Amino acid sequence: MIVKDEFLSRLRKIFDLNLYEVKVWTALLSRGTSTAGELSNISDVPRSRTYDILESLEKKGFIIMKLGKPIKFVALKPEEVVERVKKNLMKYAQERSKRLEALKGDDVLEELTSLFTKGIKFVEPTDLSGSLKGRQNLYNHLDMMIRDAEKTITIVTTAEGLNRKLEALMPSLEKCKKRGVKVRIAAPIDKNNIKVAKDLKKVAEVKNLEKIKARFVIIDSNQIMFMLLDDEKFHPNYDIGVWINTEFFAQALEQMFELAWKDLKSPK
């Protein structure tokens, strides 16, 4: 059986499998039903590992074990596999979510908070900085920054970035609005995001930024996160951001933003 490495790589990412698992699974799909020994020969997976791999695939819902001797394994329709994997993933996510939610009133969280509070006393404000890779990590950190905002939030983003902000940050921005935090958003506004801009106007002052292409967020004039890459040219997984806690730089950048903000127009 010949399966291209590129295809195996895609399967690994989509279904979160290791290399041996995708090799054995695709080998079984090509046969319909087979023994562990046969699958080892077809997939080039060591026989000593094949049974473990098949057991793992069975637990994950990719295959079923056929009763009888010799023991055989049966492939499931790919459509059925997708449904099973999706259900297992949702169940796992729900269980983990409940477990994490239960931590809110647990001694474990209190102990962790105590450790952090003690440790943060020895950290200089300017040392609270770092880089983040991957757009999901960036938005997780942005969401945390916004939730902690007390006075002002300034967001400069791209046209497509405006769409993402609505989806990822709207709940936290709504809470900020209720707390009286001043929110301003500047981005290129066109026919593809005009509706999003209008939705964001419920929680922020939104203006059209045509001449400048930038991606940064300033919180309370003392924290900045700025993205280093053009979001139109790089895959989300390779997006990179830098977070800095620096009142001096944050205020300077916000003052420059103020000059540009006065000349910007609100979308109609």
Q: pLDDT tens, 3-44? A: 788 888 889 988 989 999 999 999 999 989 999 999 999 998
The segment(s) of the chain belonging to CATH 1.10.10.10 are 5-87
- Vertex 213, ends 212 and 217: CA angle to 5°? 105
The segment(s) of the chain belonging to CATH 3.30.870.10 are 128-261
Global pTM? 0.62
Report the SS3 class of residue 214: coil
Report the pLDDT averaged over residues 197-223.
92
pLDDT at 237 over 70: yes
Of the pLDDT bands very low, low, confident and very high (cuts 50, 70, 90), residue 231 is: very high
CATH annotation of 5-87: 1.10.10.10
pLDDT at 120 over 70: no
Of the pLDDT bands very low, low, confident and very high (cuts 50, 70, 90), residue 96 is: confident
Of the pLDDT bands very low, low, confident and very high (cuts 50, 70, 90), residue 110 is: confident
- Vertex 114, ends 108 and 116: CA angle to 5°? 105
Write out the two tokens for 257. 């933003």
Q: Does 128-261 carry CATH code 3.40.640.10?
A: no
Report the pLDDT averaged over residues 110-121.
69
The predicted structure's pLDDT at residue 116: 64
Question: Rounded distance, CA 204 to CA 182, Å?
Answer: 7
SS3 content of the chain, % helix, strand, coil (to 5): 55, 20, 25
The predicted structure's pLDDT at residue 205: 95
